């Protein structure tokens, strides 16, 4: 009989991939793992190399505070906001990385 693998709490609060990144709620375990002081926003737990998010400059451990100028205080906010963004739309993120806060933007215009 195959064993059922127990998921860590932060994995249960994870939303699907968006632009090649995974995010989770900021839990005490993730605060310790990434040395975070923030409690609001979502923490990036994985970024696929070569993805849109990676090309924007998003890195594991970053905290997303805003998406397209809309505040992100929880995983529910992040999910609600990102589901409304069209596939090729301009995306701007407000990121907190260690002591620094910065805007990262991506716009991929397709030429025919």
Map out the domains of the chain with their CATH numbers. 10-104 (2.30.42.10)
What's the pLDDT at 16?
Answer: 63
What's the pLDDT at 19?
Answer: 87
Of the two residues 58 and 7, the one the predictor is more confident about is: 58
Does residue 24 surpass a pLDDT of 80? yes
Contacts of 62 (CB under 8 A, 6+ apart): 43, 44, 95, 96, 97
- Residue 92 — pLDDT band, cuts 50, 70, 90? very high
Q: What is the pLDDT of residues 38-89, one digit of tens each?
A: 999 999 999 999 998 998 899 999 999 999 999 999 999 999 999 998 877 8
What's the pLDDT at 89?
Answer: 85
CB 58 within 8 A of CB 18: no
Closest Cα to residue 43, out of 29, 8, 100, 82? 29
In this prediction the pTM is: 0.81
Average pLDDT value for residue range 19-44:
94
Contacts of 38 (CB under 8 A, 6+ apart): 26, 31, 63, 96
User: Dihedrals φ, ψ of 45, to 5°?
Assistant: -100, -15
CB 10 within 8 A of CB 30: yes
What's the pLDDT at 15?
Answer: 55
User: Dihedrals φ, ψ of 98, to 5°?
Assistant: 55, -120
The span from the first CA to the last CA of the chain, in angstroms, equals: 54
- 76 token code pair: 């529910």
């Amino acid at each position: 009989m195959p064993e059922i693998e127990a998921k860590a709490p932060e994995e249960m609060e994870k939303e699907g991939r968006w632009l090649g990144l995974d995010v989770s709620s900021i839990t005490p375990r993730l605060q310790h793992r990434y040395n975070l002081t923030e409690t609001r926003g979502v923490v990036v737990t994985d970024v696929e190399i070569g993805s849109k998010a990676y090309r924007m400059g998003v890195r594991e451990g970053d905290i997303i505070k805003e998406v397209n100028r809309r505040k992100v205080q929880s995983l529910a906010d992040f999910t609600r906001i990102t589901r409304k963004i069209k596939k090729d739309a301009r995306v701007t993120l407000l990121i907190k990385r260690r002591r620094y806060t910065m805007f990262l933007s991506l716009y991929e215009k397709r030429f025919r």
